[in-house]
Chain A
């Protein structure tokens, strides 16, 4: 595994952006003009200087960032959790209270970015000091840690105890107020870096990430590839921003009525009302689709093809026009492209026999150049051998059959017949849930099909396939 020094650097790098930001905010909070007004706080009999109340922090955050109460409280909590601000009254409870509770800024010496990770030795010294001061009366988990450390770094224990004694002696020579402040600071630091069991550990960051990889050699080869890549990028055709951005506006506008989160959905959103009518009316095998769904087929050819009902309707139309073989061919090509590798030669053979061979039963009209290239590729059939032919037929359908379908009676009648669901009102009693019914698992449906001896990659007209169609 990784060596300790490496891991230190790794995680420190990871933390840096958010810590730097937090520290900048903390510094601006302490700005004499624009920051929080600090005053003396009375703690029992001593007076602690440079303290502020929770409410002060809260209000400053709201004013500075123009945010809501909830967000200000949230950000304030983060500062306390990460040890940049610590409470004076209940030091073990690292939360922000929006009232008169006193808080102080942690000294930069103890900031996360300067003293991280906390060293075991320092922790041992801290616990030793506490142990001496409280004459052995440590809190449960601290006692456990103390004993564990004693066992682990037994060889330097004399040093630890000596340091602890030195530091205690030095602190006795300070003014009481200073001493309390220093103790609070140190305690806050350790509460963040060695959280008591049961509280959130902020230090946990997940597995190692590296910004540079020993597996990728930054050598001549790498740079040459980069240079080549940059040269190609320079030569690329670009589109003006205004055109690109306009297209987003159009897209969002067009799809807004179909976006349940933006505009709701009829009859109702199943997650909100516990009524699954919406899913039932839009499932794959419905006989009368909804109006919105039929309208969506007119947005793009891909929309029509990805909807199983749409595809079926389109096939019916093509059959009337005697060009159904185009869609069947396209589908067969999709099957080759996305199916099992071992079945490719067999499938390609089938496709040739049915669609491409001269005199084939469902012959498709491809230009001679593409046909030549495809037949050449058949000698060594691979996954993408039918790509060119498929593309040709796809664009043929898109430019020719698809626009005519949208103008056809078949489509217009379907649109007229299409249903617009009634809105279901939310239940009057908001706390009573409707019964939430479970639905058959897709795994079950296909298992039944398997039991019947059919294959998983069934023709996509069947309702329970999922391979070639995209919802």
Chain B
């Protein structure tokens, strides 16, 4: 059995065999352990039946995957753009920047709309989280987080609190107080605890539960009041970058995308991975459900956006062009689901016709990467946040 070379950070007694050896620092179900490389190999082989090795298991898994792809292809009798041929093409598309929100001193990383359709919360690299009335461009609240790179922020459904997190590995909830003398940071509530950065967070249907995704490869559901972990979701083999709750009748599933190029659909009650899609060629930066809940779109570093159907259980459309080089960092649907807005790392925003698969418009204006794109709750406009420190409202 040949030992793979690894970077040894510590040397000392192994937790398992107690011999003094170079140790691998790994995590088992989020618990850190220090095993020597021999014990790690032995552990990996645990649970194997006679004649099995991790390689045979891996091969079996791969062959099943191939069979799955075959099965999926059997029912694929028509392409989306063929079905869409009978629809009228969209005419000239004009969207302009209607508001520019300046006030962040550093890259804007994330934003979310309030349900009142005009307020937004945004977070940036320097740890500032700002709540704006985007219509008047006034800032209403500002909080400084104790960490940098606040990559996730979300507005509570009631409009009374915001949740945010980033390199501090936590998700904190700040109730919004209108008392000028009150320090928002004082009332902060730490809800989620991960073992790596927080990449995305979202309230479920109420202020009481938060769903988070993290660079530690897991997603988790938390109870805000007690800070308790209600459910954790394991299945990604790399950092999870994005998640989105399904707008379905039963409201029980969500989709997540990560650096392992996979998009997984989860059941919130059981914690099970219900469906999995792996056709992207690079990290999936963003996932969003189609408004009907029957499909979802993804934006990835391979410069494509793709549409996956949950009932057909396959990828049904790819949105890409030769001239688009950089990855899509964020995607969102318009209210009817006909348009897909995607922000790219080459500072532009492309608008795609979801049904026909063509690009309807390309919007310029930002002077650095577009990091987040979200359509307002009533579909009247969408907001884009960028590394050029500004947010723009387009309509």
Contact = CB atoms under 8 A, between A and B. Distances in A.
Interface in B332-357: 334-339, 345-348, 354-355
A238 to B, nearest CB: 5
B36 to A, nearest CB: 15
Given A245-B83, A246-B83, A341-B225, A227 B362 contact: no
A70 B320 CA distance: 18
Interface string A212-252: 11111111111111110111011010111111111111011
The 4 closest A-B pairs by CB, nearest first: A442-B159, A338-B206, A255-B336, A466-B158
Nearest to A342: B225
B380 A206 contact: no
A322 to B, nearest CB: 25
Contacts of A337: 205
Interface stretch (B14-22, B52-60, B185-193): B52-60
Interface stretch (A40-48, A89-97, A260-268): A260-268
B138 interface: yes
A207 interface: yes
Nearest to B57: A223
B215 interface: yes
Interface string A23-51: 00100000000000000000000000000
Given A302-B249, A341-B225, A244 B348 contact: no
B93 to A, nearest CB: 9
A41 B60 CA distance: 61
A72 to B, nearest CB: 8
A170 interface: no
A384 B269 contact: yes
B335 A258 contact: yes
23 contacts: A18-B326, A65-B322, A209-B239, A211-B260, A213-B239, A215-B30, A223-B54, A230-B67, A233-B276, A238-B313, A241-B79, A241-B309, A244-B312, A245-B316, A260-B379, A260-B395, A261-B381, A340-B223, A443-B176, A446-B159, A465-B158, A466-B159, A471-B377
Contacts of B276: 229, 233
Contact of A466 (B117, B157, B355): B157
B327 A18 contact: yes
B264 to A, nearest CB: 10
A269 B395 contact: yes
Given A342-B226, A466-B207, 5 more contacts: A5-B7, A207-B215, A227-B64, A229-B273, A246-B83
B159 A441 contact: yes
A227 B60 contact: yes
Contact of A215 (B216, B228, B303, B354): B216
Contacts of B295: 244, 248
A265 B375 CA distance: 15
Interface string B144-157: 00000101000011
A424 interface: no
Contacts of A251: 290-292, 336-337
Interface of A: 3, 5-6, 14, 16-18, 21-22, 25, 61, 65, 67-68, 70-71, 74-75, 78, 200, 204, 206-207, 209-227, 229-231, 233-234, 236, 238-249, 251-256, 258-262, 265, 269-272, 276, 278-279, 282, 301-302, 334, 337-342, 383-384, 387, 391, 394, 436-439, 441-447, 456-457, 465-468, 470-471
A443 B159 contact: yes
A447 B178 contact: yes
B28 A255 contact: no
Contact of A258 (B116, B260, B379): B379
Interface in B59-91: 60-61, 64-65, 67-68, 71-72, 75-80, 83-84, 87, 90
A467 B338 contact: no
Nearest to B41: A219
| Secondary structure dominating the interface of B | loop
B143 interface: no
A256 B338 contact: yes
B13 to A, nearest CB: 20
Interface string B225-265: 11010100011111101000000011000000001100000
Nearest to A246: B83
B54 A262 contact: no
Contacts of B259: 209-211
Contact of B206 (A246, A441, A467): A467
B72 A238 contact: yes
Contacts of B336: 251-252, 254-256, 258-259, 262
Contacts of B380: 260-261, 265, 269-271, 278
A16 B281 CA distance: 11
B98 A271 contact: yes
A338 B114 contact: no
A231 B67 CA distance: 10
B64 to A, nearest CB: 4
A226 B30 CA distance: 19
A245 B238 contact: no
Contacts of B381: 260-261, 269, 271
| Secondary structure dominating the interface of A | helix
Nearest to A229: B273
Contacts of B76: 241
B216 A213 contact: yes
Nearest to B275: A233
B136 A438 contact: yes
Given A249-B355, A259-B335, A276-B135, A456 B379 contact: no
B217 A239 contact: no
B246 to A, nearest CB: 12
B273 to A, nearest CB: 6
A213 to B, nearest CB: 5
Nearest to B236: A216
B163 to A, nearest CB: 14
A215 B169 CA distance: 15
Contacts of B312: 238-241, 244
B119 interface: yes
Contact of A6 (B7, B45, B395): B7
A438 B140 CA distance: 11
B47 interface: yes
Given A215-B196, A249-B355, A259-B335, A444 B58 contact: no
Contacts of A243: 311
Contact of B215 (A209, A256, A271): A209
Residue in A75, A204, A242, A254 whose Cβ sees the most chain B Cβ within 10 Å: A242
Contact of A252 (B28, B195, B241, B338): B338
Contacts of B160: 442-443, 446-447, 456, 466
Contact of A272 (B98, B241, B260): B98
A71 B301 CA distance: 20
A470 B204 CA distance: 10
Contacts of B225: 340-342
A327 to B, nearest CB: 15
B395 A242 contact: no
Given A260-B378, A262-B334, A442 B72 contact: no
A104 to B, nearest CB: 21
Contacts of B79: 241
Contacts of A5: 7
B364 A220 contact: no
B183 interface: no
Contacts of B140: 441
Contact of B68 (A223, A230, A276): A230
B48 interface: yes
Given A249-B355, A271-B381, A443 B177 contact: yes
Contacts of A276: 135
Contacts of A75: 323, 325, 346
